[in-house]
Amino acid sequence: MWPRMTLTRINSPPGSRAQYPPIVGRRRAMAPGMAARLSGVTASMDEQASEAENGWEHFPHGADIGVRGNGASREAAFEQAALALTAVVTDPARVAAREQVAISCTAPDEELLLVEWLNAIVFEMATRKMLFGRYLVRLDGNRLEAEAWGEPIDRARHRPAAEVKGATLTALKVARGPAGGWLAQCVVDV
């Protein structure tokens, strides 16, 4: 079972609290190595957050790990999926919002857009040697414009558990649920 937690944004730009609702995440304690991180993990539909509630979670998949974002809007679901991606590496609450990075991408459909979005974050993490703990996504059809806030990696404070190589098409889904909320998920290669 994954305990619910509310993450507090650090160093948010002025006026941002009204724009960004609290992040509700699900995670288990970080353990060294991915095998230890995935042992005993189950994520049944009953355990998932209400689809209209903003939140993120991981789901197991062989040697890799799934990232899932739930949100009241498609944008919120994409933001939460990005937080789940960060949580594969470290606890997002440990990442200070010190630097802003603009990210944009396009794709032929919303599912491939999720993969492009997550891979753009992986690229920015790798090339800038940064982690991101807060995201703002704007969608216009199949075009995404976003800001990611984060800081350079501090191995002692962030204690990275894994390196994400990229988002995959496995278990890829972006869909509106019956209650009106959105789900955005895929498996990431670690």
User: Rounded to whole angstroms, what are the CA distances from 78 to 37, 39, 60, 119, 139?
Assistant: 23, 26, 19, 12, 10
Question: What are the structure tokens assigned to 161, written together?
Answer: 């558990």
**Cα-Cα end-to-end distance for the chain:** 22
User: Closest by alpha carbon to 132, among 51, 3, 39, 11?
Assistant: 11
Residue ranges covered by each domain of the chain? 18-189
CB 150 within 8 A of CB 97: yes
pTM higher than 0.85, yes or no?
no
Reported as a single tens digit per residue, the pLDDT across 82-115 is 999 999 999 999 999 999 999 999 999 999 999 9
User: Rounded to whole angstroms, what are the CA distances from 158 to 84, 107, 121?
Assistant: 15, 32, 17
Beta bridge mates, 7: 23
* pLDDT values of the chain reduced to their tens digit, one per residue, 190 residues: 333 333 333 333 333 332 323 333 444 323 333 333 333 332 333 334 344 589 999 998 888 999 999 999 999 999 999 999 999 999 999 999 999 999 999 999 999 999 999 999 999 999 999 999 999 999 999 999 999 999 999 999 999 999 999 999 999 999 998 889 999 999 999 9
User: Rounded to whole angstroms, what are the CA distances from 180 to 71, 73, 101, 177?
Assistant: 9, 8, 30, 5
The CA-based diameter of the chain, rounded to the nearest angstrom, is 43
Bridge-based pairing of strands 23-26 and 173-176 is unpaired
Reported as a single tens digit per residue, the pLDDT across 37-49 is 333 332 333 334 3
CATH code of 18-189, in short, is 3.55.10.10
